[in-house]
Amino acid sequence: MADSSFDVVSEIDRQEVDNALNQTVKEIGHRFDFKGTGAGIEWSGKSIEIKANSEERANAVLDVFKEKLVKRGLSLKVLDAGEPKLSGKEYRMAIALKEGIDQENAKKISKLIREEGPKGVKAQIQGEELRVSSKKKDELQEVIALLKGKDLDIALQFKNYR
């Protein structure tokens, strides 16, 4: 019998992020506490940029954006927000989106599966993914439950379960 397997990935649904960003823009335009503050949020290449006239306003826009992401079912672990920096008369905050599993995290997850997972499970690093395989599908389900239960600093999804 062939091994069963699944892939552990860290991907971002860019369309959902874009929808959350558009909802944030709309809410900022309607809320009274943002009137006349020059607050805004927009794409800046592959990252997101927040502009506001004060540090507090920039952080408030970030909070609204985070709220919209959570409502759309996205993990806040994909955000890598910097500190608001003064640029001329306005504050700017760059937010990078973390995608893919880097080597360090892949090794950490692989070690976690070896130490705490069922004995017949193998994990191998394949670029920015991790392939987990086993003879028994029940063991794979245990690994998924184990990884969901751990508080890792990246958002994980499980794909290609076969």
Mind listing the pLDDT tens digit for each residue in 131-140? Answer: 999 999 999 9
For residues 54 and 108, state if they share a domain. Answer: no
**CB-CB contact of 10 with 154 (8 Å):** yes
For residues 40 and 90, state if they share a domain. Answer: yes
d(CA 114, CA 162): 20
Closest by CA to 151, choosing from 73, 53, 76, is: 76
Mind listing the pLDDT tens digit for each residue in 84-137? Answer: 999 889 999 999 999 999 999 999 999 999 999 999 899 999 989 999 999 999
**Given pLDDT bands bounded at 50, 70 and 90, which one contains residue 2?**
low
Residue 72 CB neighbour total at 10 angstroms: 14
* Prediction pTM value: 0.87
Domain carrying residue 108: 4-11+101-159
Q: Which helix (H) or strand (E) holds 93?
A: strand 90-97
SS3 38: coil
Model pLDDT, residue 3 = 86
Query: Based on the structure, what is the number of domains in the chain?
Result: 2
